[in-house]
Amino acid sequence: MKSIVFILFSLLLVHGVAQAEPWSKSFDTDLTLTQNSYSDSWTGGEAGNISWVWNANGQFEKQASPKFKFRNTSKFSFGQTHIQDKETKDWAKPQKSTDLIDIENLGLFTLQAYVDPFVGLRFESQFLDASVPGVNLYLNPKKITESAGVARQFYKKEKDELLSRLGFAFRQIMTETVIDTLLEETETETTNDGGIESVTDLKLTLSETLKFTSKLSLYKALIFSESDELEGTPQADYWKAIDVNWENRLAAAVSKYITVSLYTQLLYDKQIDRRGRLKETLSLGITYKLF
């Protein structure tokens, strides 16, 4: 399946670039900075801190032909927090607060039917893996998802859209593990699974200054390359549980370059944690729209 999806994307992308119809482009980036500082005479044990977060979101879309549409959606985030020691007032090494790389390519065969076939290719990772003290790993872990199935556009009006797709997916997760911290030696472990995936994307313009986006991804694995090794352990069936990734972003433009945004993400992967993981970020920052 991997080779089929890759070949399809290569051929269709080359075909799309050759067409005269222009791309529909949108890309914005923002930077949020928070800083606290205290004088030496301040009492109470407070410590200064500096936090910053950079985000970038883009979408590039092209109707390559009457029967085929190509779409690229990209999300990037990275942020750190710097904390000052309460006693010495020295600044500790920065700690990562957010980190995301999410690039998805989608090819839709627009046949004007009740459902349209699609092929998808998604890459997910992070810029920096600092889980092992003293050893920095980059682009670790890496998850590649290839999918194919059917999609339906339930709603479309200008930039507003509700698109849902259902199909089969094959995932490959490559994880680099530190085996020697002194020599910084690592080894790479690769796992594969395949199953059924459902993805729903929603984009709404609530007003001239208020926009809402949501993405709900559900994945049910049917096969797993490590299932035999887990047999007989309490975690033997964890890989069969449905994985959930639900992201929501509400953005309000205060002015041309100032935006307030609320981002929430709900994650559930039983192989990582039997509980759901919730992330919430409220930010006010400088935004610049390239397109």
pLDDT digits (tens, 9 = 90+) for 138-179: 999 999 999 999 999 999 998 899 999 999 999 999 999 998
- Please give the pLDDT value at position 179: 87
More confident of the two residues 33 and 45? 33
Q: Which residue has the tokens 């046949």?
A: 111
H helical segments located in 218-259: 227-230
Which of 60-64, 93-97, 196-200 shows the highest mean pLDDT?
Answer: 196-200
Question: For the chain, how big is the Rg over CA atoms in Å?
Answer: 22
| 68-83 vs 128-132, strand pairing mode | unpaired
pLDDT-based confidence at 213, cuts 50/70/90? very high
Instruction: Compute the distance between CA of residue 131 and CA of residue 133 in angstroms, rounded to an integer.
Output: 6
Q: What is the dihedral of CA 196, 200, 201, 207, to 10 degrees?
A: -170
Q: Which of 165, 156, 185, 54 is nearest to 120 (CA)?
A: 165
- Residue 290's pLDDT is 85
Token pair listed for 166: 């259902």
Model-wide pTM > 0.85: yes
**Which pair of tokens denotes residue 277?**
């993981």
Model confidence over 83-138: pLDDT tens digits? 888 777 788 888 899 999 999 999 999 998 999 999 999 999 999 998 888 889 99
Say yes or no to pLDDT of 12 above 70.
Answer: no
Q: Average pLDDT, stretch 5-13?
A: 53
- Grade residue 261 by pLDDT with cuts at 50, 70 and 90: very high
| Residue-level pLDDT at 222 | 98
Predicted local distance difference test score (pLDDT) of residue 185 = 85
On whether the 2-38+47-289 domain is CATH 2.60.120, my answer is no
